[in-house]
Amino acid sequence: AQTVTQSQPEMSVQEAETVTLSCTYDTSESDYYLFWYKQPPSRQMILVIRQEAYKQQNATENRFSVNFQKAAKSFSLKISDSQLGDAAMYFCAYRSAYAGGTSYGKLTFGQGTILTVHP
């Protein structure tokens, strides 16, 4: 079974600064997807960024970028020019790319990191 670990229960950053959230995972599969989701107090899970394991290039979405280290099974999220609206809980998640087995596209989540942004 796959596991996802976020070792930082809480992080804080000053507005306009950069912060990195850590995530490691464990899997025996070679093809999979990794995600970062944001959950504000509204409880809505919002997809921030997605990485396909077969791609060597790190994904980037505006101020959000990842550092994907497949061999180390590490997938960190960097938020540049942090804004007050970035404050939320962030979840790292794993999804198998295989059609067979019992994964059925379900996401396996880490425990989350609460990000506080100070003005």
Partner 1 sequence: GAGVSQSPSNKVTEKGKDVELRCDPISGHTALYWYRQSLGQGLEFLIYFQGNSAPDKSGLPSDRFSAERTGGSVSTLTIQRTQQEDSAVYLCASSLVSAGTSNGELFFGEGSRLTVL
Binding site for partner 1 (CB under 8 A): 33, 42-45, 47, 50, 52, 91, 95-112
Closest approach of Cβ 19 to partner 1, in Å?
Answer: 20
Residue 98 to residue 81: CA distance in whole angstroms: 36
Q: Count of CB atoms within 10 A of residue 43's CB?
A: 7
Return all residues near 75 (Cβ < 8 A) that are at least 6 apart: 23, 24, 25, 34, 36, 51, 66, 67, 68, 69, 92
- Least Cβ distance, residue 17 to partner 1 (angstroms): 25
Query: In terms of CB distance, is 11 or 97 closer to partner 1?
Result: 97
Minimum gap (Å) between residue 81 Cβ and partner 1: 25
Q: Least distance from C-beta 46 to partner 1, angstroms?
A: 8
| Nearest residue (CB) to partner 1, 2 versus 80 | 2
82 versus 112: smaller Cβ distance to partner 1 = 112
Percentages of the chain per state (helix, strand, coil), in multiples of 5:
5, 50, 45
Considering the complex, state which of residue 5 and residue 18 has its C-beta at the smaller distance from partner 1.
Answer: 5
